[in-house]
Each structure stands twice: as structure tokens, then as C-alpha cells.
Amino acid sequence: MEINQVIAAYFSPTYSTRDIVLTISSEIQHSPKQIDLSIYDNRETSYSFSSHELVVLGVPVYGGRVPADAAKRIHNLHGNNTPIILVAVYGNREFEDALIELKDIVVSNGFIPVAAAAPVAQHSIIHSIAAGRPNAQDIQQARDFSKKVQDKLKKTVVLTQQDCIQLPGNQPYKKYGVIPLHPKAGHNCIQCGKCASNCPVHAIPQDHPDQTNTEQCISCMRCIVVCPKHARGLNPIVKAATANKLKKVCSQPKENLWIL
Ligand SMILES: Cc1cc2nc3c(=O)[nH]c(=O)nc-3n(C[C@H](O)[C@H](O)[C@H](O)COP(=O)(O)O)c2cc1C
Ligand code: SF4
Ligand code: SF4
């Protein structure tokens, strides 16, 4: 089948999902179209795709699930028997039900998942976990996967529901059980507002960037990454406790999963 346009769509607060989705997409089409679902102003925008477009959709795994705000935004993507590659990026713990949840959302919206991946990236809360990943070997694997997907699509004459891949995971999905972690601004804050304008859910007031609305905050860590003064961070005691807990289950390097 002929693909006229590749679309890289991602919810990626700390950018590793974006980079992996772009690695996969760019191998198929140089400079794919991009839809950044992490941008607050894109949260209600609706998109439609034809059967001659290919969407590469990525989310980070949160608590073994698709982040709830990402799921809501993905519901605004509408396919018409559109092939889709699903990518659930995880921080070396587990991806559990994220891929199957992602599949259920897109299938109900008219897409046909033709391939999927669960690649490992540095843990966005505790950076020492899976530090440096994706590494050169991971990136090469992503490129090889992308080439295999292209070959598969070339051999397909007409895409039907029967081409939909099987994915690991359980239904009902596991209960979302992540302990909330809300970054705060410290003395270095120069009130530039960059964290507020970049927060995917607008949980930081623009006129009071030293505050965080803990009801809205999804613990995504983007505000820490974008702050030019390194002024935002987590409570050090809570962060150390989280690191200890995670290190018990994340210390051994995990494999990337590529499904065709
Ligand atoms: C709130 C939260 C929950 C997370 N839960 C998991 C998880 O269940 N399993 C896992 O392996 N990694 C988990 N991670 C790590 C991220 O999935 C991983 O670092 C991912 O690369 C982040 O993607 P991003 O850079 O696109 O934001 C979690 C990260 C956050 C912020
Ligand atoms: S980005 Fe950093 S310096 Fe700027 S307002 Fe936010 S915390 Fe303050
Ligand atoms: S305030 Fe919360 S939701 Fe907003 S960027 Fe920071 S961690 Fe993410």
C-alpha cells in the first residue's frame, strides 16, 4: 500500500517519547508532519487522517498506563482505516497495560495498529534509572524496526481489521497507582514564566510561577526540564524515597520490545 504522508504524534513532557517517535517516523519519511499533544493549546484540537497516511503515536508509560491527559487528547485523533504504529516509552520499570490501552483507544477511533513498540528511556523522575537511554544500540533497533514496518506495509495490498496486531497487557487495565510528586520553585526562580507556559496541563499560574496547583499537576516533570535557572525541583526527601523504591525494581537494564 502507498503511504503519502507520515505523521509523528506524541505526548512527551520530557521529550524522550518525542525523540523515539521521530527516529521511527523519519526513517520512513524525511521530516514527517508533527503533532505535539503535550501542548496545552492542542488539547481540544481534532485531527482526521486518511488510509494513505501513517501515524506514529507515542506516549510515556505512567503507572503502567497511558497518562490520563494523553488518553483524552488521543481521543481527538480520528482515523479512516489509517495504519498506526503505537509506541509506549517506559523508564525501565514495566509498561504493563499501556500498549493495550493505547490500542483500544485508537482502534475505537478508526485506526489499524500495524506495529507497536515499548522502548526504554531514562526515567523522567529519577534520572539515574536507565541513564543514557535510548543509547546508540536502542536507536539502531528503532531504525531497524521502522524499516521492517515499511516492508510490511509495502507487501500489504489493502489494509483491513485483520492486519491489527496482538499486544501484551490485561483488560481491565491495572488501576493507576502512582504517588503524586509535585515540583516547586526555589530561590533561583526569576519569575520568567517558562514553566507555566510549557506545563501540559497549565498547573502553574503564569503570574505566580512559584506555585503549583496540585489538583491539576500530573507529575510529568516538564517544568523541571524547561526551567533555565534549574529553580524547580521535588522535595529532596520525597525524591530520595522514590529513588530507593524504584531502584529495587529498575536496577537491571530492560529490553526494548518491538512488535510487528
Ligand atoms: C508520573 C510518572 C509515572 C511513571 N510511571 C512509569 C511506569 O509505570 N513504568 C516505567 O517503566 N516508567 C515510568 N515512568 C517513566 C517514564 O515512562 C519514562 O521516563 C518516559 O521516558 C518519559 O517520557 P517523556 O520523556 O516523553 O516524558 C513514569 C514517569 C512519570 C513522570
Ligand atoms: S521556569 Fe524556572 S525561573 Fe522561570 S518562572 Fe519557572 S521556576 Fe521560575
Ligand atoms: S506543574 Fe506538574 S504537570 Fe505542570 S509541568 Fe510541572 S510536573 Fe508537569
What integer pLDDT is reported at residue 39 of this predicted model? 98
Helix orientation angle between 16-28 and 136-155, rounded to the nearest 10 degrees: 40
Three-class DSSP category at 249 = helix
Domain architecture of the chain: domains with CATH:
5-173+253-259 (3.40.50.360), 184-233 (3.30.70.20)
Q: Is the pLDDT of residue 177 over 90?
A: no
Distance CA 199, CA 184 (A): 13
Backbone angles phi, psi at 121, to 5 degrees: -135, 165
Percent of the chain with pLDDT over 70: 100
Residue 172 preceded by cis peptide, ω within 30:
yes
Distance CA 222, CA 210 (A): 15
Three-class DSSP category at 202 = coil
For ligand 3, whether the C-beta of 234 sits within 6 Å is: no
CB 96 within 8 A of CB 65: yes
For ligand 1, whether the C-beta of 103 sits within 6 Å is: no
Q: Which ligand is nearest to the CA of 128?
A: 1
CB 23 within 8 A of CB 16: no
Chain position carrying cell 483488560? 171
For ligand 3, whether the C-beta of 217 sits within 6 Å is: yes
Q: Is the pLDDT of residue 222 over 90?
A: yes
CB 223 within 8 A of CB 209: no
> How many CB atoms are closer than 10 A to CB 54?
25
Distance CA 46, CA 5 (A): 18
Q: Is the pLDDT of residue 45 over 90?
A: yes
**39-66: average pLDDT:** 98
Interval between CA 118 and ligand 1 midpoint (Å): 12
Residue type, 205: P
Range list of H helices, the chain: 16-28, 68-74, 98-108, 136-155, 194-198, 222-226, 236-250
pLDDT, tens digit (0-9, with 9 covering 90-100), for 78-120: 999 999 999 999 999 999 999 999 999 999 999 999 999 999 9
What integer pLDDT is reported at residue 161 of this predicted model? 87
Distance CA 101, CA 96 (A): 10
Three-class DSSP category at 42 = helix
What integer pLDDT is reported at residue 236 of this predicted model? 96
CB 73 within 8 A of CB 55: no
Residue nearest to ligand 1 atom 4, measured at CA: 62
